[in-house]
Amino acid sequence: MKLKIKGFLDLSLTDWDGKTTCVVFTPGCPFRCPYCYNRDLVLEPWKLEDIPLERILAFLRENGWGLDGVVITGGEPTIWPGLPELCSALKEEGLLVKLDTNGTNPDMLEGLLSSGLVDYVAMDIKAPLVPEKYSLACGVDAGPFLAEVERSIDILLGGPVDYEFRTTVVPTIHGPGDVRAICTRIRGCERYVIQAFKPLGPTIDPRFTDMRTFTGEELRAFMKEAEEVLGPGRVLLRA
C-alpha cells in the first residue's frame, strides 16, 4: 500500500461529533502551519514508528464492535496514493470513515467521494482565500495551492457526503473580518466550525507553543461574523 501510518489512537470521543472512533495518523504535509502541534508528523516523520495496516485491522476485528468509525488525519492524508486502499480496507470492516484534509488535492478528494469511500469530510480553511493571508496561516507560499483549495471547497459544496469546513483561529494570524471573508466564500455550506487554537504540544514554529488563546469574547465575535453570513444553526464553536 502506497501510504504510511505513523500514529494510531484506539479511542476518541472528540474527533467526530457524536461518534466513537479510532484515529489513524498519516505523515507529511505540503503546509507548515506555524501553530500545528503535529510537528513530528510533518517535519520528522522518519522518527516515528511505521504502523502496519494489518495491526490496525486486527485491532478493529477484535475491538471494533464499540466503534462507529475511523478518522484519517495527518499530516495531510491526501498526499498518499494509497489512501483509497486504506479507506476501502476500513469500510470492509463495516466502519464509517471520516477524512481530515486541507483541500490541496481535489482530485483525490473527488475520487474518494465518487467511490463512496468516505462518509464525512472535515476540510480546514486556514484563512481568507488570498495569497498573503493564506501564506501567513499555512507557513508556505500559498499561491500555488489556492486554486486547489477553492476546487475542494466547490466539490464539498456540491458533493454527495456530509462535511464541515473549519478554521482554527490563532492570535497574530486571524483578526476581525477574517472569518467573515471565509464565510462569504463558503456561503450555503452545511456546517462551519470555528476552532480555538490551543497548543497541545511543541508547534512547528516554537513561538506558538506558548501562544495565548483567544478569549471567550474574541471567539464570540468570530462566531457573530460567521452567523451574519451563514445564518444561525450552521456555525459551531469548538473551544
Share of the chain above pLDDT 70, in %: 100
Strand partners, 167: 194
| 102: Cβ contacts below 8 Å, ≥ 6 apart | 29, 30, 31, 76, 123, 124, 126, 138, 149
Nearest C-alpha neighbor of 34 from the set 215, 172, 217: 172
Nearest C-alpha neighbor of 37 from the set 206, 171, 201: 201
Residue 239: predicted pLDDT: 79
Residue 225: predicted pLDDT: 98
Nearest C-alpha neighbor of 237 from the set 80, 141, 222, 121: 222
Task: State the DSSP code for 76.
Answer: -
Stretch 175-184: mean pLDDT: 98
Residue 82 has pLDDT above 90, yes or no: yes
DSSP alpha helices (H): ranges in the chain? 39-43, 53-63, 83-92, 106-114, 131-138, 146-157, 178-185, 216-230
Q: How many residues does the chain have?
A: 239
Name the residue ranges covered by the structural domains of the chain. 7-238
Q: Report pLDDT digits (tens) over 102-140.
A: 999 999 999 999 999 999 999 999 999 999 999 999 999
pLDDT band per the 50, 70, 90 thresholds, residue 81: very high
Residue 144: predicted pLDDT: 95
Fold classification of 7-238 is TIM Barrel (3.20.20)
How many helices (H) and strands (E) in the chain? 8, 8
Stretch 20-32: mean pLDDT: 98
- Whether 120 and 96 have beta carbons less than 8 Å apart is answered as yes
Residue 183: predicted pLDDT: 99
Q: Report pLDDT digits (tens) over 191-202.
A: 999 999 998 889
Residue 64: predicted pLDDT: 85
Task: State the DSSP code for 61.
Answer: H
Stretch 40-50: mean pLDDT: 96
Residue 169: predicted pLDDT: 98
